Amino acid sequence: MTSAQPATAQALIWRDRAQALLDERRLDGRALIDGQRMDATDGQTFAKHSPIDGRALTAVARCTAPDVDAAVFAARQAFEQGRWSREAPAARKRVLARWAELILQHKDELALLETLDMGKPIGHSLNVDVPLAARCIQWYAEAVDKVYDEIAPTPETALALIRREPVGVVGAIVPWNYPMLMAAWKLGPALATGNSVVLKPSEKAPLTASRLAELALMAGLPEGVFNVVPGYGHEAGEALALHMDVDALGFTGSTRVGRKMLEYAGASNLKRVFNELGGKSAFIVFEDSDAIERAAQTVAGAIFFNQGESCNAPSRLLVHESIADDVVAQVLAQVPHYQPGDPLDPHTAMGALVDESQLHTVLGYIESGRHEGARCVAGGVQVRAETGGYYVTPTVFDGVSNHMRIAREEIFGPVLSVIRFQDEAEAVALANQSSYGLQASVWSAHIDRAHRVARALRAGTVHVNQYDEDDITVPFGGYKQSGNGRDKSLHALDKYTELKTTWIRVNGV
Ligand code: NAD
């Protein structure tokens, strides 16, 4: 792998490992259906290149409707036969817990695949993506035999049992920014509650999905319960979303495609659709904040993490005009820490954008910001082009107004827009003037203001004086066009279960 900078010893080790994977042709882009690795029915593939340096990684199965049919059939068969769906929760727990262990045991391999596939720094794949995916599976494993059903407070002449039952076959369609983790957020609750799953990973980062499914088989998950169909959205994705035998769809991706999911459900079997979509989160710093330096560090860390390719990235920094110059100066002091580097170097803080098209999208937004009159005060350029990969410097725009495209649309790149406000009412109005409502952050030393503003913000999660806390125990999802579903926490179980009431007559009362 080429790089503009001298390699550290650890980077050399990871580069050697990557080279060995390629030389020994150990990358496997095939589907996994009914417990078997397989090519697409018509033998079609597409080439997957690494955004790190543009090199070809492997051929990936280009699944289409017949492959999706086979995967859904296998999933339905497994469900009806009860090999998983009718297992006791404690038995499912043991298999899922083993699977989580295996994910951790294969941490290096999975992290390397993820980094090669979508360009994030290896340190993040190792310390964030793999452990959080394993933790998610483990948490739902442990939760599922502790969730009780209900008995309704009916008259004594009858007993009404309210039980959760698995919905059946779940289609999961996920994006490329956290491929393993977004898959785990669907797989954990869906499998723990006894469903079968057909997973369609993004064509931009498909490699870890089938490997996860292989590890699940090794852990004892019955064949057919978890199937993977790589391919394009308009082919494999559309076929899955339109399928008449899919009972529920867990979708994470753009708002544009989320709209289509609702149309597909309406055009097919009215399957339940849970959309987890985009964001344009506001990070509000008030003049009474006593933690301005930490606020600047936090917003920089959050917008530049994962190359800005995070749905909840705080891409709008709203600052009171009296402290704005100071806050911007402190954000700019953070920028040097996030210069893009070799994603295979564990010291790298920011890696490559996922592909050339995303590079052009991000550069296009930077151009539009300049064109609309915002001041680019940091970054704004492509770098490391000599590597053959796709890198953009951390970028800060000052003097942004909320109607500019860079303030309204999700860029999904390392671009921060600074918007100044005059008072609390204006800050809340600006934050809420967005079609999205995923997350927000409020920085104030006054608890009344923090509560008041947190309550007024139309967002699924509001942080106060921080942005980085996150845990599998809390729901993740948005208001408005950020979606309708909630991943994580016990609330996610609702998406993958039907509520059934059974009335029983009680004689002789
Ligand atoms: P995308 O919508 O382009 O694609 C997501 C998935 O949908 C991919 O697997 C893709 O192949 C598939 N797809 C595309 N067109 C389809 C179609 N016509 N029919 C069926 N499937 C189709 O999104 P992306 O670029 O992969 O991911 C980035 C988006 O994901 C951003 O908007 C980001 O905010 C969002 N996201 C949201 C969350 C959340 O929890 N809210 C988390 C991560 C990412």
Establish whether residue 238 lines the binding site of ligand 1, counting it when its CB lies within 6 angstroms of any ligand atom. yes
Residue 243 Cα to ligand 1 midpoint, Å, equals 18
Q: How far is the CA of 12 from the centre of ligand 1 (A)?
A: 33
CA of 174 to the centre of ligand 1 (A): 6
Residue 121 alpha carbon to ligand 1 centre in Å: 21
Active-site residue among 276, 309, 410, 424?
276
Contacts 24+ apart (CB under 8 A), 429-434: 430/282, 430/316, 430/318, 430/402, 431/282, 431/284, 431/316, 431/318, 431/457, 431/459, 432/456, 432/457, 432/458, 433/402, 434/280, 434/282, 434/316, 434/408, 434/480
Note if 276 is an active site residue. Answer: yes
Q: Is 391 in the pocket of ligand 1 (CB under 6 A)?
A: no
- Who's near 117: CB < 8 A, 6+ residues apart? 48, 50, 57, 176, 179, 204, 205, 206, 207, 208
What average pLDDT score do residues 48-52 get?
98
| Euclidean distance between CA atoms 233 and 22, whole angstroms | 26
452 and 314 Cβ atoms separated by less than 8 Å: no
Is 311 a known active-site residue?
yes
Q: Is the CB of 202 under 6 A from ligand 1?
A: yes
DSSP bridge pairs for 198? 171, 227
Confidence of residue 2 (pLDDT cuts 50, 70, 90): very low
pTM over 0.85? The answer is yes
Q: How far apart are CA 154 and CA 501, in angstroms?
A: 12
First to last CA, the chain: 79
Q: Are 172 and 220 in contact (CB under 8 A)?
A: no
Determine if ligand 1 sits within 6 Å of the CB of residue 200. Answer: yes
With a 6 Å cutoff on the Cβ, whether 130 touches ligand 1 is no
Please tell me the distance between residue 151's alpha carbon and the centre of ligand 1 in angstroms: 39
Of 63, 203, 235, 311, catalytic: 311
Residue 493 C-alpha from the chain's centroid: 18
Q: Which residue out of 202, 243, 307 has the highest number of ligand 1 atoms within 8 Å of its CB and is therefore the one to mutate?
A: 202
Hey, whose CA ends up nearest to atom 42 of ligand 1? 311
Q: Of 292, 298, 281, 278, whose CA–CA distance to 462 is shortest? A: 281
Burial (Cβ within 10 Å: 0-12, 13-18, ≥19) of residue 2: middle
Q: Cα(258) to centroid of ligand 1, in Å?
A: 8
Question: How far is the centre of ligand 1, averaged over its atoms, from the C-alpha of 461 (Å)?
Answer: 20
Q: What is the band of 5 on the pLDDT scale with cuts at 50, 70, 90?
A: low
**Ligand 1 atom 26, closest CA:** 175
Q: Are strands 316-320 and 282-285 parallel, antiparallel or unpaired?
A: parallel
254 in contact with ligand 1, CB cutoff 6 A: yes
In this structure, the chain runs to a length of 509
- Locate tokens 């390397």: which residue? 112
pLDDT score recorded for residue 72:
99
Q: How many helices (H) and strands (E) does the chain have?
A: 16, 23
The pLDDT tens digits for 234-268 are 999 999 999 999 999 999 999 999 999 999 999 99
255 closest CA partner among 486, 480, 429: 480
Q: In the predicted model, what is the mean pLDDT of the chain?
A: 97
Strands 382-383, 375-378: pairing kind? unpaired
Is residue 250 within 8 Å of residue 170, measured between CB atoms? yes
Q: For residues 43 and 60, is the Cβ–Cβ distance under 8 A?
A: no
Half-sphere exposure (Cβ direction) of 327: Cα atoms closer than 13 Å: 33
Sheet with 415-421: list strands edge to edge.
Answer: 375-378, 395-398, 415-421, 316-320, 282-285, 439-443, 461-464
Q: Tell me the longest C-alpha to C-alpha distance in the chain.
A: 85
Atom of ligand 1 nearest to the CA of 201: 9
pLDDT digits (tens, 9 = 90+) for 189-243: 999 999 999 999 999 999 999 999 999 999 999 999 999 999 999 999 999 999 9
Question: Is the Cβ atom of 188 under 6 angstroms away from ligand 1?
Answer: no
**pLDDT per position as a tens digit, 390-422:** 999 999 999 999 999 999 999 999 999 999 999
Q: What is the pLDDT of residues 104-154, one digit of tens each?
A: 999 999 999 999 999 999 999 999 999 999 999 999 999 999 999 999 999
Across 18-23, average pLDDT: 92
- Give the C-alpha distances (Å, rounded to integers) separating 15 from 2, 134, 429: 10, 25, 48
Mutate to test the pocket of ligand 1, among 257, 312, 354 (most ligand atoms within 8 A of CB): 257
The per-residue pLDDT for 3 is: 42
pLDDT of amino acid 260: 98
Q: Which is the closest atom of ligand 1 to the Cα of 240?
A: 20
Alpha-carbon gap, residue 90 to 110, rounded angstroms: 27
Evaluate whether 503 touches 159 at the Cβ level (below 8 Å).
yes
Concatenating the DSSP letter of every residue in 78-119 gives: HHHHTTTTTS-HHHHHHHHHHHHHHHHHTHHHHHHHHHHHH-
Ligand 1 within 6 A of CB of 412: yes
pLDDT above 90: percentage of residues in the chain:
96
